[in-house]
Amino acid sequence: MNLESDKNNQQKIFYRKKFSLREFGGAFGDWGTLIPFIIGYVSIVGLSPAGIFLTLGITNIILGVRFNLPLPVQPQKTIGTVAISERWAPDMVISTGFGTGVIWFLLGLSKKLNKIVQKVPIISVRGIQLGLAFILGWAGIILFKESLILGFISILIILILIKNKPIPSAIILTLLGIFILLLSKTILLSDITFGLPSFSFKFPTWDNFVIGMIYAGIAQLFLTLTNVMIATVVLIKDLFPEREEVVDANSLALNMGIMNLISPFFVGMPTCHGSGGLMAQYAFGARTGGSMILEGIMEIFLGIFFSETLFLIFTEFPLAILGAMLMYTAFLLGRIAFKDSNMKRFPIILISGLCCFFLNITVGFFIGLGLFLIFKRKIEK
């Protein structure tokens, strides 16, 4: 009886930690980068809000159960940026996403990616992390400037609650944004409606696949290789050293392959993993897969019953609050970029990070790699 009682108590403690308020706060952590792409995909490209949230939710739950790590699903940023800026049709988006899914699925099955990743020097990854910090930080600053007063209030809330585990700042900031929308009558209580959405189904086409891969898909593959296969695996080792064997490049490739082979048929957006999303959830309290399960449940519920209301809220949500969340995430990611660094490595990491920011992540990665190979002997002395 005592053994059974101890086992039950341990299970209760496990579930309390996994589904705590802290994990719930972490579930909101990556919404600062997720929401702008969702808004663009829905309002400009014309993807289905219900399809996006349903596929995101199901994927988050499956990955949260499988890995028990905050490994959130994020938009494929190269495809998303091109699609939104050039106003792609939904068919082009889903066909391009499907194309990346085929490639990553085959590479994951080949079991070759781990060997490739192991040969990449850690200093090149640090440059990518710094570059992502610059990119996220700059995006945060742009949003932050929409309302300096609200932005500074949001930063103050983050600083006050930074060490307060029972009260995650991400939840407070999200509630603050909704409160401001209601107070300013930007949205009304009558706008919050409950109802089932209408789902649409599409199929990728060969023509859109070829054009989409040429314009954005190929560049996305290189970005994913650096930001996901390398930077995310390294970040997991940094944040969760006791669980570094749970996730590797091959498993991430299979995840992304399966995600993007299925979601296009439900008109979902092209997705991947990313060190930025992982860092964001970690920054706001996520430590287990519970954050992803909770996020997935929210996304499924909101996508099925409140997709139109959610779109309205996201469209009008105060940008300065999102900006503050992005800036805080960028700070933490930039700090990790210089972990275990020294003055010999600093210039290469900085130059690589700046190239990621001013050019693109793939170029920054190869420049950092090239500089490391040139000065390898001096650096390792």
What band does 380 get if pLDDT is binned at 50, 70 and 90?
low
Is 60 exceeded by the pLDDT of residue 14? no
Task: Please tell me which residue, 252 or 118, carries the higher pLDDT value.
Answer: 252
Q: Which residues contact 169 (CB under 8 A, 6 or more apart)?
A: 25, 157, 158, 160, 161, 162, 284
Distances (CA, A) of 354 to 13, 133, 135, 176, 324: 45, 10, 10, 34, 22
**Best-predicted range by mean pLDDT (34-48, 149-163, 190-204, 335-349):** 149-163
Give the span between the Cα atoms of 339 and 129, in whole angstroms.
11
For 214-257, write each residue's pLDDT tens digit.
888 887 887 787 777 788 888 888 888 887 777 888 888 999 99
Distances (CA, A) of 50 to 16, 30, 47, 208, 295: 30, 19, 9, 23, 15
SS3 of residue 19 by DSSP: coil
For 124-157, write each residue's pLDDT tens digit.
778 888 888 888 888 889 889 889 999 999 999 9
Q: How far is CA 268 from the centre of its chain?
A: 15
Question: What percent of the chain lies above the pLDDT cut of 70?
Answer: 92
* Confidence (pLDDT) at 318: 87
Task: Please tell me which residue, 271 or 42, carries the higher pLDDT value.
Answer: 271
Is 70 exceeded by the pLDDT of residue 206? yes
Give the span between the Cα atoms of 374 and 368, in whole angstroms.
10
* Confidence (pLDDT) at 225: 79
What band does 15 get if pLDDT is binned at 50, 70 and 90?
low
SS3 of residue 261 by DSSP: helix
Tokens of 113: 């990616």
For 67-116, write each residue's pLDDT tens digit.
888 988 888 887 887 888 788 999 999 999 999 999 999 988 988 887 77
* Confidence (pLDDT) at 343: 79
